[in-house]
Structure 1
């Protein structure tokens, strides 16, 4: 268990210190200044108080006031001056720490986001990875306090350690028996605190998954895009019930945690009471017997209190730092998730590209069932391929494998007779312009949503908009192409219709001008007229590029050179529309005739 802790704590502490030194080294100057101020204030208060009490006692005992008052005034002035100066310095240092705390929170948020964007795609569909991501987000921020939270604990240990050394020297001379009383009490409270902290970690792990679900359902309640479904399907009660359920789960977990930790709180309170009683009896006895002066009594009481709370703070901060590092370690664990996909370094050659699936089979990670089996297909340069099949036949998985979002389980995918694993990842991805069925648009301008990281070319952009049938709609917007999509962050933004959003995604793919275009259900949200226009101009849209087109509407297949029919985890039929439609009892023939009959019946 101890070795397991060390594996978490030491690397995390080292990581935090290294991150702080690398990015904001001036933060350490602030912490060192705070340590010096704390030690100076502690020593001045304890020692000056002794002399102040002794001077006042001397005056009360009949001594000459003029001999003792100057020293008393000096002690008071010193205490007040140091206290005010310490308060000012601590205020400034805390303001600096608050600023850097926000800076580091953003730093880690960006780092986590970059990790998510760059990691293998399969991790983004893995529930375990998503849970770990949530632990990382919470662990590196409000659970641990981030860099500043952990450095606060670390430097509190240093500061209290310095203060403890100072008061130990005082106690050793005046009241040596106070040392074992404080230390024994501290050991007992440390045991109780450690047991309580273990419960904190245990319940943190329990709450991590609950918090992710809790946040999801509460987000859904306030998400305006759910407005239609909530109203038309009267799902308000169901959504609220889900939110209430996970809210209650969270509250119940916190309640259970409090009950488990309550007894250790009471044990600590009892130990503190015994410690104070023994300490005051011992110091009082020495004062009454004349072994120490009244000033010494005051100094011993202050020193004993400083010693105990200093030692307690050291132990408490060690425990808090260990706990905080345990939380922050979740970020390191997430950051350490390694990519499984082999990254090649071969450049992609210019010119024509031939795609070949050779005996490809695939099953998703953590699944025993194959989604695709023995896929063999060659797609030549400039060929337009239609991929059809019922839901769940593996059509989108076929595209994910080609785009190398997953690696094949068996077999290989070749482009120009080279395994795609051998290509440079960034180079390989440039081969494809893809519109998935579940594409995403961002709360950027319409132009930015289309161009993304590509170089801006206004003539090319206008041509693309016209080809996709979006130009006229775009020109009607208040700020035309500079109009922000969605109103989430811009009250002057626009809410595009489903068809307009899909056309925007098609524009994005076409603007990229990659040699291979992939459209996964590109007309799903379009009306019949717009659908017809897309089909009609399909060859013009993709030109002489290689095109792979996934669709449920088989009328689109007439515009393609070849058709691959997916069923039973493989390609069951392959050929042109005219060839496949003639196969009696064929899958494609039955699907096509069923759809054709539907349209004929509606026309009549």
Structure 2
């Protein structure tokens, strides 16, 4: 258990310190200054108070006021002056901490986002990885307090440790028996605190998954884009019931945690009471017997209190820092998730590209069932392939493998006689312009959604919009191409129709101008007229590029050179449209005949 803690705490603390030094070294100067101020203020208050009380006692005892008042005034002035100076410095240091706390929160948010965007795609569909991502996000933010939260704990330990050393010297001279009283009390309370902290970590792990589900359902309830389904399918009660269920589960877990920790809180209170009683009895006895002065009595009381609470702060600070590092360690665990896919470094050559699937079989991670088996197909440069089949036949998986979102389980995929694993990842991805069925548009401008990270070319952009049939709609928008999509962050944004969104996604793929175009259900959200316009300009849209279409609407097949029919986890039929419709009781023939009425042209 101890080794397990060390594996979490030391790397996390080292990571936090290194991150702070690298990015904001001035933060350390602020912390060191605060340690010096705390020690100075503690020592001044304890020692000056002793002399102040002794001077007042001397005056009351008949001493000459003129001999004692200057020292008393000096002590008061010193206490007030140091207190005011400490308050000013602490205020400035805390302001610096607040600013840097926000900066580091954003720093780690960006880091987590970059990790999500760069990690192997399979991780984004893994529930365990998603749970770890949620732990990382929560653990690095409000559970641990991030860099500033952990550094606060670390430097509080340092500050209180320095104060403790100071008061130990005072107590050792005046009231030495106070030391074992304070230390024994502290040991007992440390035991109770550690047991309570273990429960914190245990319940944190329980809450992580509950919180992810809780956030999901409350997001669904509050997301305006879900308004149609909620209303038309009268699903409000069902959604609210699920949200209430996880809300109640969260509350029940917190209640269970409080009950489990309550007894340790009471044990600590009892120990504190016994400690205070013994301490006051011992110091009072020494004062009444004349062993110490009244000022010494005051100094011992302050020193005993400072010693105990200083030691308590050190021990509880260590426990809290261990706990905070345990939370933040979840971020390090997420960041350490390694990519399973091997990445090559070969560049992609210019010119024509030939795609080959050779005996490719595939099953998803954590699954024993194959989704694709023994796929063998060659796609030549400039060839237009239509991929058809019933739902669940493996069509989209076929595309994911080609785009190398997953590695094949068996077999290999070659492009230009080179295994795609050998190519540089960034170079390889440039080969493809893809529109998936579940494409994503962002709350950016229409232009930014199309261009993304590509070089802006006004003429090329206009041409692409016209080819996809979106130009006229774009020109009607209030700010034309600079109009923000969705109203999430811009009240003047626009809500595009389903067809317009799909055309935008098609524009994005075409603007990228990659040599291989992949369209997964490219016309699913388009009306028949818009679909006809897309296919009428089919050759103009794709040109001499290699194109792969997935569609349930077999109208696209007439524009393609070859058709691959997926069924029973493999390619069951392959050929041209004319070849496949002639196969008696063939899969494609039956599908096409079932839809034939939609493809008969009206002759006037």
Q: Equivalents in 2 of 1:603, 1:360: separation in Å?
A: 45
Deviation at 1:199, TM superposition (A): 0.1
Instruction: Report deviation, 1:65.
Output: 1.1
Normalised to the residue count of structure 2, the TM-score between the two structures is 0.99
Distance 1:599 1:344 in 2: 45
Residues 533-592 of structure 1 deviation map (CA, whole Å, 9 limit, x = unaligned)? 111111211000000000001122111000000000000000011111111111111111
Deviations 1:325-368 (A, max 9, x none): 00000000000000111100111011100000000000000000
CA distance in 2, matches of 1:397, 1:184: 65
- Classify 1:349/1:421 alpha carbon distance in 2 versus 1 (closer, same or farther; 3 Å): same
Question: Which deviates more from structure 2 when the two are superposed, residues 258-267 or residues 548-557?
Answer: 548-557
Instruction: Measure, in 1, the Cα distance between the counterparts of 2:36 and 2:395.
Output: 67
Q: Deviations along 1:150-183, whole A, 9 cap, x unmatched?
A: 0000000000010000000000000000000000
Task: Give the deviation of 1:284 after TM superposition.
Answer: 0.4
CA drift at 1:302:
0.4
Change (3 A) 1:598 1:527: closer
1:464-500: CA deviation from partner (whole Å, max 9, x where unpaired): 1110000111111111111111111111111110000
Q: 1:602 to 1:235 in 2, by over 3 A?
A: farther
C-alpha separation in 2, matches of 1:361 and 1:508: 31
Structure 2 residue matching 1:374: 3-state secondary structure? strand
Q: Which runs of 5+ in 1 are unaligned?
A: none
Residue in 1 aligned with 2:244? 244
| Deviation at residue 67 of structure 1 after TM alignment | 1.1
Q: Map 1:77-226; keep pairs closer than 5 Å.
A: 77-226=77-226
From the superposition, tell whether residues 503 and 36 of structure 1 become closer, same or farther in structure 2 (CA, over 3 Å): same
Partner in structure 1 of residue 377 of structure 2: 377
Aligned to 1:275: 275
**Kept after mapping to 1: 8 A contact 2:393/2:569:** yes
Question: Pairwise mapping of residues 461-480 of structure 1 onto structure 2 (< 5 A)?
Answer: 461-480=461-480
Which ranges of 4 or more aligned residues in structure 1 deviate by more than 4 Å? Answer: 597-604
CA shift for structure 1 position 595? 1.4
- Using a 3 Å threshold, how does the CA distance of structure 1 residues 488 and 603 change in structure 2: closer, same or farther? farther
Residue-by-residue CA offset, 1:69-91 (whole Å, 9 max, x unaligned): 11111111111111111011101
Q: How far apart, CA to CA, are the structure 1 residues paired with 2:453 and 2:312?
A: 55
Cα distance in 2 between the residues matched to 1:507 and 1:598: 26
Partners of 1:13 and 1:556 in 2: CA distance: 58
> Distance in 2 between the 1:601 and 1:101 partners?
66
Q: Secondary structure at the match of 1:360?
A: strand
Per-residue deviation at 1:601?
14
Distance 2:25 2:600 in 1: 75
Per-residue CA distance 1:100-143 (angstroms, 9 max, x = gap): 00000000000000000000000000000000000000001110
Q: Work out the CA distance in 1 between the residues paired with 2:450 and 2:555.
A: 28
- RMSD of aligned alpha carbons: 1.3
What TM-score do the two structures reach when normalised by structure 1? 0.99
Which residue is equivalent to 2:585?
Answer: 585
Cα distance between partner residues in 2 of 1:332 and 1:324: 13
Give the CA deviation at 1:313: 0.2
Of 529-538 and 377-386, deviating more is: 529-538
Residue 600 of structure 2 aligns to a residue whose secondary structure is helix
**Whole-Å separation in 1 of the counterparts to 2:259 and 2:35:** 37
CA distance in 2 between partners of 1:235 and 1:32 (Å)? 57
Distance 1:207 1:33 in 2: 38
Q: Distance in 2 between matches of 1:541 and 1:597?
A: 26
Contact 2:555 2:599 in 1 (8 A): no
Structure 2 residue runs of 5 or longer lacking an equivalent are none
Paired with 2:602 and 2:372, the residues of 1 have a C-alpha distance of 36
Distance 2:354 2:7 in 1: 50
Aligned to 1:532: 532
In the aligned structure 2, how far is the partner of 1:62 from the partner of 1:200?
59
Q: Distance in 2 between matches of 1:199 and 1:273?
A: 25
Q: What CA distance in whole angstroms lies between the structure 2 residues aligned with 1:392 and 1:12?
A: 44
Aligned mates of 2:489, 2:367 — CA distance in 1: 40
In the aligned structure 2, how far is the partner of 1:577 from the partner of 1:536? 17
Alignment partners' CA distance in 2, 1:601 and 1:532: 11
Q: Distance in 1 between matches of 2:347 and 2:92?
A: 55
Deviations 1:513-552 (A, max 9, x none): 0000000000000001101111111121100000000000
